[in-house]
Amino acid sequence: MTQSVKKILDHVLARFAGQITRLEVHLSDENSASKSGMTDKRCLLEARLAGRDPVSVSNLALTVEQAVTGTAHKMVSLLGRELGKLGKR
């Protein structure tokens, strides 16, 4: 699973590869087998950019791959906004 997560993140976040100094991924199962309901997978992604505070996003999905992909796309949007603000100064 580690390689598939890395592959998704490398592909989706490629545009920001030169600006991200560290990326942390936390995966969890929000509803374990002992609880009723769907087994939702949660991905929390934290990115650190040089000279900036860390930013994080999360996503819930039915599978780990869907959770990681959704979180990566949210991070692209967030980084685009954050870095776009820097360019307007």
**Tens of pLDDT, residues 23-72:** 999 999 987 666 666 768 999 999 999 889 999 999 999 999 999 999 99
**How many whole angstroms separate alpha carbon 9 and alpha carbon 73?**
9
Instruction: For residues 59 and 72, give the distance between their C-alpha atoms in angstroms, rounded to a whole number.
Output: 9
- What's the CATH superfamily of 2-87? Ribosome hibernation promotion factor-like (3.30.160.100)
- Confidence at residue 89, expressed as pLDDT on a 0 to 100 scale: 45
Q: How far is it, in rounded angstroms, from Cα 9 to Cα 52?
A: 20
Query: Which sequence spans correspond to the domains of the chain?
Result: 2-87
Residues 15-37 have pLDDT tens digits of 999 999 999 999 999 876 666 66
Q: Could you tell me the pTM of the whole model? A: 0.85
According to the model, what pLDDT value does residue 21 have?
Answer: 95
